[in-house]
Amino acid sequence: MSRIQRVALDLFDAHGYREVTVERVAAAAGVSPSSVYRYFGTKEMLVLYDEADPQLLEVMRTAGDGETLEPAELLAVARPLVPVMVGVLLTADSERRIARRVRYMHAFPEVRDGQTRQMRELEEQFRVLFAERCGLDPNDLRIRLAASTAIWGGVAVLDHWAGTGFAGRLSEIYTAAVESIIDALEAIIR
């Protein structure tokens, strides 16, 4: 999926997002159009796909040996993992690709709308997983607020980075922001 996304971004950069079809991406990537649709679902997801999302959910699923924990305990387990995960996931190469992707999110309303749908889905996954890990009802208001804060806080980081013209390392911005997000989550779940 990462290779196909790189091919798509290269084509979008060279020929324009709206001018490149999924069929053209498939041909350049050496796969069938049906494979592109099976992996990504939509053209927008060629931009939006983030290989870190499932990895972060898996870390949350397994942190603390996957045992049911009080929300504060789960956050205490997560806090030291965040800088490690950020360091592993946000290499210089991945930051350049993220910057390319964010430019398309900001330039094309259909990609931005796709990002909103994607973040709502990720928020739902996070909410259900957080509730499961804490032995709470997924509809608990604190769980809903925690999921929204975590996911949309990440979107705010990307928007901030884009607003600075992509100045600074995203990994450093995320690390600082996640500390604030975890502080907020701790306040929410009390």
Q: How confident is the model over 23-38, as pLDDT tens digits?
A: 999 999 999 999 999 9
pLDDT digits (tens, 9 = 90+) for 64-106: 888 899 998 988 988 888 888 888 889 999 999 999 999 999 9
Residues 98, 175 within the same domain = yes
Helix (H, G, I), strand (E, B) or coil at 52: helix
In this structure, the answer to whether residues 22 and 99 fall within a common structural domain is: no
Q: Quick check: pTM over 0.95? A: no
What does the alpha-carbon distance between residue 138 and residue 61 come to, in Å, rounded to a whole number? 15
Q: The CATH number of the domain where 151 resides is what?
A: 1.10.357.10
pLDDT of residue 78: 85
If we measure between CA atoms, which residue out of 28, 78, 26 comes closest to residue 56?
78
Q: What's the pLDDT tens digit per position in 143-183?
A: 999 999 999 999 999 999 999 999 999 999 999 999 999 99
DSSP assignments along 12-31, one per residue: HHHH-TTT--HHHHHHHHTS
30 lies in the same domain as 68? no
Percent of the chain with pLDDT over 90: 78
**Domain interval for residue 164:** 50-189
Considering the domain architecture, whether residues 168 and 112 belong to the same structural domain is answered as yes
CATH code where residue 12 lies: 1.10.10.60
Q: How many domains does the chain have?
A: 2
